[in-house]
Chains A and B, each alone.
Chain A
Amino acid sequence: MARIDLDLAHAYRPDPQQDSDYALLPLKMSFRDGGAYALLGPSGCGKTTMLNIISGLVTPSQGTVKFDGRDMTHATPQQRNIAQVFQFPVIYDTMTVAENLAFPLRNRKVPAAQIKERVGRIAEMLDLSGHLDQRAANLAADAKQKISLGRGLVRPDVSAVLFDEPLTVIDPHLKWQLRRKLKQIHQELKLTLVYVTHDQVEALTFAEEVVVMTRGRAVQVGSAEALFERPQHTFVGHFIGSPGMNFLQVEAGERSLRVGGQSLPLPDGLRLPAGALTLGIRPEYLDLVAPGAEGSVTARIDRVQDIGTYLLIGVDIAGQPARLRLPMDRTPPRVGDAVGLRVLGEHTCFYLNEELVE
């Protein structure tokens, strides 16, 4: 296992001039030894490029990759001692499940007794113990993918295990069980794991730290809680959560905040840079109160949706749209109603040029 440090940038064209020429903009990042990380972002954000740079499939056009302080920038995946699991099962159909799992160990001339012990342990973790002597060819797609996962995890001495959307082929009803397995395995084996996905459930559930990426930039590295509560960048607020964070254009004064022609007193202790700012508040935290209630802005109800487990309310705050979630036991407002909204609270964030104002 290893700590991995990246200090690099990558462009697929020589001589990059502008941000859009980079697949990965200059970044510095460290993956802790034994940590579980997810790289999360929409397609084209650079997450797969980053994974390929860690594995050694891609050499960064500038900068270095270090494993435990040693420069590995030009080392092959074999030299880096990396295990990889891909979207689709990669297994040997003619071998049994046990032989498939043992393959990476046998390749490295691990003693037979040790192989047996390790294969048995991994098989048990993945509920494959009953199938060890079965030929892999006849298994269902999700069992085959479990073998691929097992093969990735079977070597105790790898620097890191890299996963590229490994649950794509898994039936939705079985996904949570495999997510659970992966989490358990991480707790037991303490391997350094890096997991690429565009699925926020997968990333937030699996990882201790999620790297949120957009347009070649890692905009935040943090726990699920940090990404939800304190998005460092408006993209994170938008991308994490469904619906994402509401953003309102506001104007900060010395003691007050202007929101769409309405003025709110700023609470004591809240200091903001004067001028135009973006206020961010999640639909879960936007509080609906009586119109004119102290400390609220007036808004109009635009849309009321019964989403089954909660009410999703669309509001218009002097021309700026926002949404909020109401528990099912609240009396639903009616479209056209004037209401009050509390936009200032402990969960409110402010952004200047997309970045969080600390």
Chain B
Amino acid sequence: MELTLHKVGKVVGAETWLRDIDLALQPGAVTVLLGVTQAGKTSLMRAMAGLDTPTSGCVKVDGRDVTGVPVRERNVSMVYQQFINYPSLKVFDNIASPLKLRGDKDIERRVKALAERLHIGAFLQRYPAELSGGQQQRVALARALAKGAPLMLLDEPLVNLDYKLREGLRDELSQLFAAGDSTVVYATTEPAEALLLGGYTAVMEKGEVLQYGPTAEVFHAPRSLRVARAFSDPPMNLLAGDAEHAHLRLPGDLRLPLPPALAGLQGPVTLGIRAAALRTVARPDDIALAGTVELSEISGSDTYVHIRTATGDLVAQFTGVRHHALGDRLTVFLHPDHVYLFDAAGVLLQAPERSPVH
């Protein structure tokens, strides 16, 4: 289905929850709504579903204006943060309910196949209350998937689960979305989750959609500082500098050559460095940033080292487990081609090049 929003706004009392949102969802794909709590993700989903009527603008489905058409007259399925199931129905009947309502055939086979896929096949004859939180949420997800609605909205569906469970389920979901033809909208606060889901991402902040496009493209070429800040975990390292004579001057007596296309640039700019662009072994043409370790955080697969340098505070991401004690001296290296540049208004001037993925 094609869902488009035209200048959608939502004002509640003195507060603006949504501001002039224009968005055409990629049909049949997953769109991630990425933003911090209160960015407007849930309000936007409620407007898409017909649970709320926007204060201004219109919502169109396949070209037809559906603004104000209530949710029960639309074919939408929704999954919330909190696990919602029918407590008096067994797991099988919970998943089968949308199929029975429609009078579908072949219900047993389809319910079993979905339950297997989500690893709840063994619990079909139990009641939801007899399951763990993670299992209950999988029942809710299975029911939404069984409905096979052309529009499926998921509001931070994995947020209340253990991270390892989240990892497995996210993987299953992204493959189920890819195999189905529903248009899926998935809200999350986590940049890493958006990247793992792939598809398309709309970056939201303060009720606005700042940028919409293929997820990896938005990540690699954020249109503005606001997008770069919102779509980076750990946060992008941002340093204030001055451009002059084809160079960028930064605190701590650091000079960086500007790329040829920006050689004429003058005045204040912001330099952005992704944590993963910093490394401990120098390569040709690298610049060095020396500092002391403030903390080394270990995620399991990566080590995030917080470093205080004369140029500014930095976070570097290294693969694997690395040991750096508080107060250790550490020099990190950076290739001048691997930086982002934003002008004084926060508009992207340059992003690092990369190989496209097929």
Binding site for B on A (CB under 8 A): 42-44, 176, 179-180, 183-184, 187, 198-201, 204-205, 224-225, 227-229, 238-244, 282-284, 304-312, 325, 328, 331-332, 334-335
Contacts and interface: CB of A to CB of B under 8 A. Distances in A.
Contacts of A238: 164
B213 interface: no
Contacts of A243: 167, 301
Contacts of A44: 132
Nearest to A226: B321
Nearest to A305: B198
Q: Which of A183, A238, A241, A242: most chain B CB closer than 10 A?
A: A242
B302 to A, nearest CB: 8
A168 to B, nearest CB: 12
Nearest to A283: B301
Contact of B162 (A198, A284, A309): A198
Given A241-B300, A306-B357, A308-B220, A180 B326 contact: yes
Contact of A183 (B167, B219, B295, B299): B295
Nearest to B297: A205
Contact of A229 (B132, B198, B321): B321
A176 B195 contact: no
Given A305-B357, A308-B219, A308-B276, 14 more contacts: A176-B304, A179-B295, A180-B294, A205-B297, A224-B298, A225-B321, A228-B320, A239-B164, A282-B301, A305-B195, A305-B198, A306-B219, A308-B195, A309-B275
B296 interface: yes
B277 to A, nearest CB: 9
B179 to A, nearest CB: 13
Interface string B289-331: 0000011111111001010000000000101110100100000
A10 B68 CA distance: 58
B319 A325 contact: yes
B298 A204 contact: yes
- The binding surface of chain B is classed by DSSP as mixed
Given A243-B167, A307-B195, A42 B297 contact: no
Instruction: Assign chain B's interface to a size class.
Output: 35 or more
B282 interface: no
A294 B91 CA distance: 51
Contacts of B304: 176
A274 to B, nearest CB: 32
Interface of B: 132, 162-165, 167, 191-192, 195-196, 198, 216, 219-220, 274-276, 294-301, 304, 306, 317, 319-321, 323, 326, 354-358
B295 A180 contact: yes
B196 A307 contact: yes
Contacts of A199: 163
Given A198-B162, A309-B274, A304 B358 contact: yes
A328 B216 contact: no
A42 B165 CA distance: 9
A305 B193 CA distance: 12
Contact of B326 (A183, A304, A308, A331): A183
Contacts of B296: 205
Q: Which 4 A-B pairs have the closest CB atoms?
A: A309-B276, A204-B298, A306-B216, A180-B295
Contacts of A284: 301, 319-320
A319 B82 CA distance: 36
A242 B299 contact: yes
A43 B323 CA distance: 28
Contacts of A335: 358
B83 to A, nearest CB: 14
Contacts of B163: 198-200, 242
A200 B299 contact: yes
Q: Which of B167, B191, B355, B356: most chain A CB closer than 10 A?
A: B355
A311 B357 contact: yes
A184 B299 contact: no
Given A199-B163, A242-B300, A310 B295 contact: no
B164 to A, nearest CB: 6
Contacts of B301: 241-243, 282-284, 325
B321 A331 contact: no
A225 B196 CA distance: 25
